[in-house]
Amino acid sequence: MAVRKVAEPLAATWRAPVFTRERFGYLGLNVLLLAGFLLLWEVVSSVVNSAFVPGPLAVWRAAIDVLFKGDIAGLGLVRHALVSVQRVLAGFAISCAIAIPLGIALGLQPGLYRAGKVVLEPFRFIPPIAWVPIAILILRGYARYMFIIILGTFFPILMATMTGIARTDATHLDVAKTLGFTPFERIRKIVLPSALPEIAAGMRIGLGVGWMSIVAAEMIGGELEGLGRMMLNHAELLRVDVVVVGMVAVGVIGFIMNEVFLLVERWVFRWRRAVKL
């Protein structure tokens, strides 16, 4: 009973309030910054006075047209966005399913990583877009999207998982060994919980890279759906305003997904200080 009375106040200290003066302050700063950016953008667009430098008002009108009337292929902005989100999440899920177990194995057995380092590391530094010609030659349809997105998301998750596993406090492992934990119990109860925050950080980075890769993936996919394809189609028609609509959509959706990921991370790791970035 005494332990419960002590634990409850401690748990309460980690529960961040929903509304605070600090949060309202940051919200106000973000609104002012966004308004200033839009104003500067509109001024620059007016000064340049070119169809190739559309202002926020022109982009807004183009967004309304694509949203309600559709693009040159007759597809609406929501349809393009949903298809892109589905592709990113599918590639991200496949990367997690492969990279996390492999990262755990390499983190527990660093000798395996050192033995295969000469093959693994060069691939990590090749940008996903460099694989586009190969994807065009050897793959078709949906496989092209997955290939590019998986390449972009795989290595951030893998390296974060390996690092998290390797940084497990040796003292905790020694205590577990003293208490008679089996090797499997040490991994399940000590190593994995210790590494989970870094694994989550790698997943968050990987998700961002996946969104960076989706435009390149959809430009070579050969299908009419997706924000990347919408941007490419209108770039060929010199409709820069619609291209910017696609760019803004990618940025906004990526921002929302990042914020949702942070909320989930705060809930999962509510025993530690909440992530505020």
| DSSP of 216-263 | HHHHSS--S-SHHHHHHHHHHTT-HHHHHHHHHHHHHHHHHHHHHHHH
Question: Position of tokens 């902005």?
Answer: 77
| Residue 1 is assigned to a structural domain of this protein | no
Same domain, 113 and 162: yes
**Predicted TM-score (pTM) above 0.85:** no
Query: What is the model's pLDDT at position 141?
Result: 80
| Residue 277 is assigned to a structural domain of this protein | no
pLDDT, one tens digit per residue, over 43-81 is 998 888 887 889 899 899 999 999 898 888 788 899 999
In angstroms, the CA 117 to CA 267 distance is 36
Parts of the chain with a pLDDT under 70: 1-23, 221, 271-277
Query: What is the model's pLDDT at position 136?
Result: 83
Query: What is the model's pLDDT at position 235?
Result: 87
Question: Position of tokens 């997943």?
Answer: 203
Query: What is the model's pLDDT at position 11?
Result: 45
In angstroms, the CA 253 to CA 73 distance is 22
| Residue 89 is assigned to a structural domain of this protein | yes
| Residue 15 is assigned to a structural domain of this protein | no
What is the number of alpha carbons within 13 Å of residue 277 lying toward its C-beta? Answer: 4
Burial 183-214 (b: 16+ CB within 10 A, else e): eeebbeebbeebbebbbbbbbbbbbbbbbbbb
Same domain, 66 and 139: yes
Query: What is the model's pLDDT at position 2?
Result: 41
- Exposed, middle or buried by CB within 10 Å (0-12, 13-18, 19+), for 91? buried
Query: What is the model's pLDDT at position 97?
Result: 95
| Residue 9 is assigned to a structural domain of this protein | no
Same domain, 81 and 94: yes
| Residue 10 is assigned to a structural domain of this protein | no
- Specify the number of domains making up the chain: 2
Same domain, 139 and 191: yes
Handedness of CA 101, 104, 107, 112 (dihedral sign): negative
Same domain, 31 and 113: no
**Tokens, residue 15:** 């529960």
Same domain, 244 and 145: yes
Query: What is the model's pLDDT at position 247?
Result: 92
| Residue 227 is assigned to a structural domain of this protein | yes
- End position of a domain, from candidates 49, 69, 90: 49
| CATH code for position 263 | 1.10.3720.10
Same domain, 167 and 31: no
Same domain, 26 and 106: no
Same domain, 28 and 77: no
Query: What is the model's pLDDT at position 164?
Result: 87
Identify whether the C-beta of residue 157 lies closer than 8 Å to the C-beta of residue 208: no
Domain range spanning residue 28?
20-49
Same domain, 153 and 38: no
**Which residue, among 166, 192, 199, 25, has the nearest Cα to 97 in the 3D structure?**
199
Same domain, 60 and 31: no
N-to-C CA span, the chain: 37
In angstroms, the CA 54 to CA 240 distance is 7
